[in-house]
C-alpha cells in the first residue's frame, strides 16, 4: 500500500487518508487498507498502532438517502469509511460535551471515480456522530475496530436537530444537505427521531461515555 497524503479536516481529529492506485490499460489495482502500513505511517501510527480493524460493513443507498448521525459507545467504535461506487458525502458532528468544538459539524465529499489515480478513506473516531447523504445510487464500506454491541450501546443525534453548528461546512454541500432534508428524504425513523443536540448534551449517555 502507498499512502499519498493524510490531512486533518476542520474537526482535526477527523482525517482523510489518500492512497495510490496502480493503473494500466485494464483498469487499476490498489490496497485500500493495510494494517502494517497504517501502523508504521508517521501521522497514522498514533491512531492505528495496536488498533486492528475487526469488522467490515457495507451499505447501499438510494438517491436522497440520509443516514445518521450515529455513534456506538458499548463498545466504543472508530470507523474508517470509503465509497465503493456512486457518491457519498460524509457528515461528522463533534458530540463530546467538554470539547471546544461540541455541536460543530463538517461534511466531506467522497465520490467514487475509477479514473482517479488515488482513493480516499475518512477516519471518524469515537466521540463524533457519523452519517452521510447520497445524491445518486451508492455503495460504501467501512472498517470498524470493535464489533457491533447491540442497540443498547448505540444511538445518536437527529440530522434534523436545529442546534448543530454547520459553519465549518462548504456552503454548496450544506445547501445540498438541507435541500435533501427538506424534500422527503429517505430517512430511518430512528434517525429522524434521534436526540436533539441539547438533549444529547444533558443525557446520562453523553455524561458517562463521552466526557473525559
Euclidean distance between the first and final Cα of the chain, in Å? 35
Cell of 203: 443525557
Contacts of residues 109-116 at CB distance under 8 Å and 24 or more positions apart, as own/partner, are 109/170, 109/173, 110/81, 110/82, 110/83, 111/83, 111/86, 111/87, 112/83, 112/84, 112/85, 112/86, 112/87, 112/138, 114/27, 114/28, 116/21
Coil, strand or helix: which one is 107? strand
Catalytic residues: 70, 142
Placement of cell 440520509 in the chain: 66
Neighbours of 151 (CB within 10 A): 8
Amino acid at each position: 500500500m502507498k499512502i499519498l497524503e493524510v490531512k486533518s479536516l476542520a474537526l482535526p481529529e477527523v482525517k482523510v487518508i489518500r492512497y495510490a492506485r496502480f493503473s494500466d490499460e485494464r483498469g487499476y489495482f490498489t490496497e485500500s487498507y493495510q494494517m502494517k502500513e497504517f501502523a508504521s505511517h508517521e501521522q497514522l501510527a498514533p491512531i492505528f498502532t495496536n488498533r486492528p480493524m475487526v469488522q467490515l460493513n457495507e451499505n447501499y443507498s438510494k438517491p436522497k438517502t440520509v443516514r445518521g448521525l450515529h455513534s456506538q459507545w458499548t463498545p466504543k467504535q472508530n470507523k474508517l469509511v470509503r465509497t465503493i461506487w456512486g457518491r457519498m458525502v460524509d457528515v461528522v458532528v463533534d458530540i463530546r460535551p467538554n470539547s471546544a468544538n461540541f455541536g460543530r459539524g463538517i461534511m466531506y465529499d467522497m465520490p467514487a471515480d475509477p479514473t482517479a489515480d488515488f482513493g480516499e478513506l475518512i477516519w471518524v473516531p469515537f466521540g463524533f456522530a457519523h452519517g452521510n447523504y447520497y445524491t445518486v445510487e451508492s455503495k460504501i464500506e467501512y472498517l470498524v475496530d470493535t464489533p457491533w454491541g447491540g442497540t443498547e450501546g448505540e444511538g445518536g443525534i437527529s440530522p434534523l436537530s436545529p442546534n448543530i453548528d454547520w459553519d465549518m461546512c462548504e456552503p454548496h454541500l450544506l445547501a445540498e444537505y438541507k435541500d435533501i432534508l427538506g424534500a422527503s428524504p429517505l430517512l430511518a425513523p430512528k434517525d429522524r427521531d434521534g436526540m436533539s443536540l441539547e438533549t444529547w448534551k444533558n443525557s446520562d449517555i453523553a455524561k458517562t461515555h463521552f466526557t473525559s
